[in-house]
């Protein structure tokens, strides 16, 4: 279990670092004012596309793939913890308390959260780039 937590934590660190490095660029692209006329949009559309295809979407895909890889383990651990809570008294619960399993689930939830947040930002960039009127 410790190896599993170490692996997910390390991956979350990588995803978190990329998120913190790339988020300002993603937000800057989202804040761009897209001109009304198509001819005036070329430079801004190129910048938005660059951020979308080299920052936002790769990060969202990475975080969500990592989440999918560890989802079966997260579900097993969550089910075990749920059963322990539902069938144990307080003393038994704390005697069998699995802090590593709970920490693993928390790391997985954070990774899913980052992935979904960046996916939403990617969708906004797609709308801004390809569906702006």
Whole-prediction pTM value? 0.85
3-state secondary structure of 8: helix
Confidence category of residue 85, pLDDT binned at 50, 70, 90: confident
Q: Which element (helix H / strand E) includes 43?
A: helix 42-51
* Whole-number average pLDDT of the chain: 90
Q: Residue for token digits 């990774």?
A: 111
**pLDDT at 29 > cutoff 80:** yes
State residue 99's pLDDT score: 86
State residue 115's pLDDT score: 94
Question: Residue 47 has which token pair?
Answer: 């910048």
Axis crossing angle, helix 57-87 with helix 99-130, rounded to the nearest 10: 150
Residue 36 Cα distances to 31, 40, 132, angstroms: 15, 7, 9
Give the contacts of 127 (CB within 8 A, at least 6 positions apart): none
State residue 98's pLDDT score: 84
Would you say how long the chain is, in residues?
133
State residue 90's pLDDT score: 83
How many Å apart are CA 12 and CA 108, to the nearest integer?
8
**Arithmetic mean of pLDDT, 3-21:** 89
State residue 133's pLDDT score: 63
DSSP 38: G
pLDDT tens per residue across span 42-65: 899 999 999 999 999 999 999 999
Domain boundaries, the chain: 2-29+40-130
């Amino acid at each position: 279990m410790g190896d599993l937590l170490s692996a997910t934590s390390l991956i979350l660190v990588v995803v978190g670092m990329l998120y913190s490095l790339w988020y300002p660029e993603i937000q800057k692209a989202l804040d761009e004012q897209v001109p009304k006329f198509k001819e005036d949009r070329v430079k801004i559309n190129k910048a938005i596309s660059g951020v979308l295809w080299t920052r936002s979407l790769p990060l969202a895909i990475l975080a969500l793939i990592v989440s999918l890889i560890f989802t079966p383990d997260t579900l097993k651990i969550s089910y075990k913890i749920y059963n322990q809570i539902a069938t144990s008294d307080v003393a038994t619960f704390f005697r069998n308390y699995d802090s590593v399993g709970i920490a693993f689930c928390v790391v997985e939830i954070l990774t899913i959260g980052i992935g979904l947040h960046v996916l939403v930002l990617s969708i906004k960039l797609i709308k801004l780039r390809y569906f702006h009127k």
